[in-house]
């Protein structure tokens, strides 16, 4: 491990050295040709955004996906040529590998702080994001994570911590209620003992029990395991009808497969960590017909979703794994806040992040007082024919239910109006009065429903 | 009771995989007293090579059996070359260095191989092509598959073959002589370099075989899969007495069964105080207890203080 660290340290040092060289050389070629062409050369400022995610280890595929999302956003911003505080802004990504390890997460966080980044995008895992967020908070550097869903991240009282994704309280609750609707009575819960897996499993357990389900087994694994037969055998003996897994796809896929091998007929359910193409690849047939959830709305249903997907695939030659769209939005929100504050100084643009009202790729992004996404929706998907098929959107659905209520109220008004018309035809005074009252009450109901919305 | 039987089966299969990998460790250790930490990575490369070769052939429409054999042979050949290369480049120049030096080199080679594999095969998880027919059996309420059966069989046969090699052939005799005293063996006309290279090549071939087994069983592969596997197999080798072939086999199976039973029963035994995530601790506690009473492992021979 020590050897590994020093190798990382060396390579990072080398990267820094290169970056430093690059910076020193940059102003010269820019200034020289620009001076004769335009007499008032616009100053250029470099905004360094830190990005941290696992680039090695079992979750490296997700880490690279996040980095690709950030890279895409930064390229677009640079192509657009943003101007902040009268200067042309050039964004630069300072990508670090946190190995999905909380210890390493804090080390790279310190590195980013020392490098005086203007903001941080990340980390990927809740387990690394939470300890790192303290370092960023102490240094006053704004942090937006596109994937850390553990509620604790934004509940520590740090003004610098934001996320552009629904948290696990919302997700666990939606999944618990969804499980209850599946007609099962007993569930087993497995988590991978990471901040994310454990947090999600705990929230799921609470919601499932509240919905009248019985949790018959709580088992644990870790985020590097490949063999789950021992715990699955135990689950089999407890006769659970549904197995909920709080963890990532690299474990979830083989787990679903091994369930089938052991002759377990229970359904499999998981959160965003297993809602990936990778999960289906690894789970094979065993994934078929089971469900998982993702915060937000499906990419195909988003206005700019398909366009983003095309751009992504064209640029990186690989499918979007999971969080890239959220990370993309996180970068955009940060840039948007800098623009509104007209400053790239963390202290100056931090308040602007809180007031964000940005029509992003994944959602209309607004933050509550904790830095959580307002009204985060949760969508449920089914693995069908090797693809993730959208089933429904839960939670955040306050909007949807309000809409339904308004519709109902409108129908009522219409009925009442009809009654009035009928009454008028009869010319009965009382009938008209009653009709008018009905209209009035219906209108009130409409008003109430609209207000609720 | 059917649960107990199922856990034993789970443990036996997992343990056979550990044993197969542990044989590679113990073989090299028995001869040179070197712990080849890169062995887990050899296993990983064995799996990944099979995926590339067999996967491509299946995609090209060739019969699965043919693809399987081609994949297996390719991975055995690549790993043998790798084992030979490792010995030649990393360990032979350090043959007479202090014992810590080759150990650190081994860890270094492990990291190098991991990163090399990451560069070649990428960071994503890969699925192993289904080379063996899927058959499920049920005996007394316990389920097992054809693949599991084959794993246990292959690993027992391999160990039998290795024992024959070591105790019934000339090369085996040379190996035993080298292990007892390299200097004297070389004076007796044993070509030490050749014997040690052979140990590495055979150990790596076993690693490739283990890699194929792991791949068929879990149907998943990743450039980091060798690390944990190597660590567990090393533990198994120590448990059984490192340097002893039968010990490696027994240690592996024992470790697998202890882990399965630990994960299955620890929660109930402690009233939920310790959960199934303590399964590794369970295994290591057993290791410590064994080493307290038998410091050289279950089957280990007493050796002088060489370290």
pLDDT given for residue A19 in this prediction: 44
Is the pLDDT higher at A178 or at B142?
Answer: A178
* A356 touching B (Cβ < 8 Å): no
Higher pLDDT, A432 or B300: B300
* Omega before residue A123 within 30° of 0, cis: yes
- The DSSP secondary structure of A282-299, one letter per residue, reads HHGGGGTT-EEEEES--G
pLDDT computed for residue A435 by the predictor: 59
Residue among B65, B49, B85 nearest B209 (CA): B49
Report whether A156 contacts A133 (CB < 8 A): yes
How high does pLDDT run on average in chain B?
88
Q: Which positions in chain A touch B225 (Cβ < 8 Å)?
A: 226
> What value, to the nearest 5°, has the Cα angle with vertex A245 and ends A243 and A246?
150
Distance CA A192, CA A198 (A): 7
Task: Determine how many CB atoms are found less than 10 A away from the CB of residue B18.
Answer: 30
- Comparing alpha-carbon positions, the chain A residue that sits nearest to B135 is A261
ipTM score of complex = 0.83
CB-CB contact of A400 with A393 (8 Å): yes
Contact between B180 and B156 (Cβ < 8 Å): no
Question: H or E segment at A405?
Answer: helix A398-426
The two beta strands, A119-122 and A143-145, are parallel
For residue B13, what are its two tokens? 């299969």
CB contact at 8 A, B212 and B74: no
pLDDT value at position B270?
Answer: 73
Please list the residues that pair with B127 across neighbouring strands: B220
Residue A79 confidence (pLDDT): 92
**Distance in angstroms (rounded) separating the CA atoms of residues B126 and A247:** 19
CB contact at 8 A, A281 and A257 = no
Given CB atoms, is A263 within the 8 Å cutoff of chain B? yes
Domain at A42-166+301-365, CATH homologous superfamily: Response regulator (3.40.50.2300)
For residue A1, count CB atoms less than 10 angstroms from its CB and return exposed for 0-12, middle for 13-18, buried for 19 or more.
exposed
Which residue among A250, A257, A262 places its CB closest to the CB of B143? A262
Per-residue tokens: A236: 């089999």
- B-side interface with A, Cβ within 8 Å? 3, 6-7, 10-11, 14, 104, 107-108, 111, 118, 123-125, 127, 136, 138, 143, 145, 218-220, 222, 224-225, 228, 259-264, 267, 275-277, 279
Q: Which CATH class is domain A169-295+382-396?
A: alpha beta
pLDDT given at position A430: 62
Q: Report pLDDT for A9.
A: 47
Residue recorded with tokens 């030490």: B192
What the block records as the tokens of A216 is: 């018959």
Q: Pick from A219, A254, A281: which is nearest to B218 by CB?
A: A254
How much of chain B exceeds pLDDT 90, in percent?
Answer: 56
- Give the containing element (helix H, strand E) for A89: strand A87-97
Angle at which helices B100-121 and B39-59 cross, to 10° = 20
Tell me what the mean pLDDT of segment B157-176 comes to. Answer: 92
Edge-to-edge strands, sheet with A44-53: A83-84, A87-97, A44-53, A119-122, A143-145, A161-163
Digit-coded pLDDT (tens) for B73-129 = 999 999 999 999 999 999 999 988 888 899 999 999 999 999 999 999 988 888 888
Contact B260, A229 (CB under 8 A): yes
Per CB-CB distance under 8 Å, the chain A contacts of B111 are 3-4, 7
Q: Determine the distance in angstroms separating the CA of A60 from the nearest CA of chain B, rounded to an integer.
A: 6
Half-sphere exposure of B193 (CA within 13 A, CB side): 6
How far apart are alpha carbons B87 and B95 in whole angstroms? 10
> In this predicted structure, what is the pLDDT of residue A33?
44
> What one-character-per-residue DSSP string does A65-122 give?
HHHHHHHHHHHHHHHHT-EETTEEEEEEEEEEE-TT-HHHHHHHHHHHHHTT-SEEEE
Decide: helix, strand or coil at residue B24: helix
- Output the six-digit token pair for B174: 């040379």
Q: Flag if A7 and B111 touch (Cβ within 8 Å).
A: yes
Q: Which of residues 236-255 of A touch B (CB under 8 A)?
A: 236-237, 249-250, 253-254
Residue in this structure with the two tokens 């999905």, named with its chain if needed: A100
Identify the segments of chain A with pLDDT beneath 50: 1-10, 12-39, 397-406
φ/ψ of A290, rounded to 5, equals -90, 175
Contact A3 B111 (CB under 8 A): yes
Which residue of A234, A281, A282 is in closest CB contact with B264? Answer: A234
| DSSP track, B80-136 | HHHHHHHIIIIIGGGTTS-THHHHHHHHHHHHHHHHHHHHHH-SS-EEPP--S---E
| Residue whose pair of structure tokens reads 């120590």 in the numeric block | B238
Which pLDDT tens digit goes with each residue over B26-59? 999 988 888 899 999 999 999 999 999 999 999 8
- B260 neighbourhood in chain A, CB within 8 Å: 229-230, 233
Return the pLDDT at B156. 92
**Shortest CA gap A221–chain B (Å):** 5
Q: How near does any CA of chain B get to the CA of A258, in Å?
A: 8
Cα four-point dihedral sign A184, A190, A194, A198: positive
CA distances from A444 to A221, A401, A415, B221 (A): 54, 18, 14, 62
CA distance A57 to A151: 25
Tokens found for residue A375: 């009204």
Of B124, B218, B219, the CB nearest to A278: B124
């Amino acid at each position: 491990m020590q050897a590994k660290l020093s190798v990382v340290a060396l390579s990072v040092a080398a990267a820094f050295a290169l970056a430093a060289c690059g910076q020193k050389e940059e102003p010269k070629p820019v200034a020289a040709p620009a001076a004769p062409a335009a007499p008032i050369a616009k100053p250029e400022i470099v905004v360094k955004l830190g990005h941290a995610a696992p680039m090695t280890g079992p979750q490296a595929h997700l880490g690279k996906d996040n980095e690709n999302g950030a890279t895409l956003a930064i390229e677009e911003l640079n192509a657009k040529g943003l101007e902040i505080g009268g200067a042309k802004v050039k964004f630069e990504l300072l990508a670090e590998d946190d190995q999905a390890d909380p210890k390493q997460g804090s080390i790279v966080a310190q590195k980013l702080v020392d490098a005086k980044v203007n903001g941080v995008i990340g980390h990927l895992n809740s387990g690394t994001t939470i300890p790192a967020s303290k370092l960023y908070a102490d240094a006053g550097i704004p942090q937006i994570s596109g994937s850390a869903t553990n509620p604790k991240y934004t509940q520590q009282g740090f003004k610098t911590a934001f996320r552009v994704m629904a948290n696990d309280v919302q997700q666990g609750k939606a999944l618990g209620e969804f499980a209850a609707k599946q007609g099962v009575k007993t569930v087993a819960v497995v988590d991978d003992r990471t901040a994310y897996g454990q947090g999600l499993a705990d929230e799921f357990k609470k919601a499932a029990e509240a919905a009248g389900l019985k949790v018959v087994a709580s088992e644990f694994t870790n985020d590097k395991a490949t063999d789950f037969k021992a715990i699955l055998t135990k689950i089999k003996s407890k006769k659970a009808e549904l197995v909920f897994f709080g963890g990532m796809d690299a474990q979830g896929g083989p787990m679903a497969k091994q369930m089938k091998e052991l002759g377990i007929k229970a359904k499999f359910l998981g959160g965003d960590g297993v809602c990936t193409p990778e999960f289906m690849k690894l789970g094979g047939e065993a994934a078929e017909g089971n469900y998982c959830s993702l915060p937000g709305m499906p990419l195909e249903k988003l206005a700019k979703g398909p366009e983003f997907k095309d751009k992504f695939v064209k640029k990186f030659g690989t499918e979007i794994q999971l969080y890239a769209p959220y990370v993309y939005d996180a970068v955009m929100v940060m840039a948007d806040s800098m623009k509104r504050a007209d400053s790239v100084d963390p202290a100056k643009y931090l308040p602007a992040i809180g007031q964000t009202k940005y029509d992003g790729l994944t959602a209309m992004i607004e933050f509550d007082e904790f830095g959580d996404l307002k009204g985060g929706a949760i969508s449920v998907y089914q693995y069908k024919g090797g693809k993730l098929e959208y089933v429904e959107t839960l939670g955040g659905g306050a909007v949807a239910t309000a809409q339904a209520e308004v519709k109902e109220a409108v129908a009522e008004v219409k009925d009442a109006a009809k009654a009035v018309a009928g009454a008028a035809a009869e010319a009965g005074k009382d009938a008209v009065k009653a009709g008018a009252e009905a209209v009035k009450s219906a209108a009130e109901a409409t008003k109430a429903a609209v207000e609720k919305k | 009771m059917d649960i107990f039987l199922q856990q034993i089966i789970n443990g036996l299969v997992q343990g056979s995989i550990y044993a197969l990998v542990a044989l590679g460790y113990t073989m090299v250790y028995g001869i040179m007293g070197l712990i080849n930490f890169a062995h887990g990575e050899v296993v990983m490369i064995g799996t990944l090579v099979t995926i590339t070769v067999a996967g491509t052939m299946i995609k090209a429409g060739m019969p699965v059996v043919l693809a399987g054999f081609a994949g297996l042979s390719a991975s055995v050949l690549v790993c043998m070359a790798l084992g030979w290369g490792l010995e030649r480049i990393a360990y032979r120049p350090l043959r007479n260095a202090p014992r810590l030096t080759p150990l650190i080199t081994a860890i270094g080679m492990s990291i190098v191989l991991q990163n090399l594999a990451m560069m070649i095969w990428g960071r994503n998880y890969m699925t192993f092509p289904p080379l063996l027919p899927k058959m499920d059996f049920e005996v007394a309420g316990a389920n097992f598959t054809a693949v599991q059966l084959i794993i246990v069989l292959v690993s027992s046969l391999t160990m039998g073959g290795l024992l024959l090699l070591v105790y019934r052939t000339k090369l085996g005799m040379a190996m035993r002589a080298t292990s007892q005293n390299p200097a004297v063996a070389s004076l007796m006309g044993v070509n030490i370099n050749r014997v040690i290279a052979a140990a590495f090549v055979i150990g790596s071939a076993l690693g490739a075989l283990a890699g194929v087994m792991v791949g068929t069983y879990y149907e998943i592969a990743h450039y980091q899969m060798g690390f944990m596997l190597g660590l567990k197999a090393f533990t198994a080798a120590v448990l059984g007495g490192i340097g002893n072939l039968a010990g490696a086999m027994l240690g592996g199976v024992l470790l697998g069964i202890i882990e399965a039973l630990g994960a299955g029963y620890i929660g109930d035994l402690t009233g939920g105080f310790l959960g199934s995530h303590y399964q590794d601790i369970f295994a290591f506690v057993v290791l410590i207890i064994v080493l307290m009473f038998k410091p050289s492992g279950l089957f280990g021979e007493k050796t002088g203080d060489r370290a």
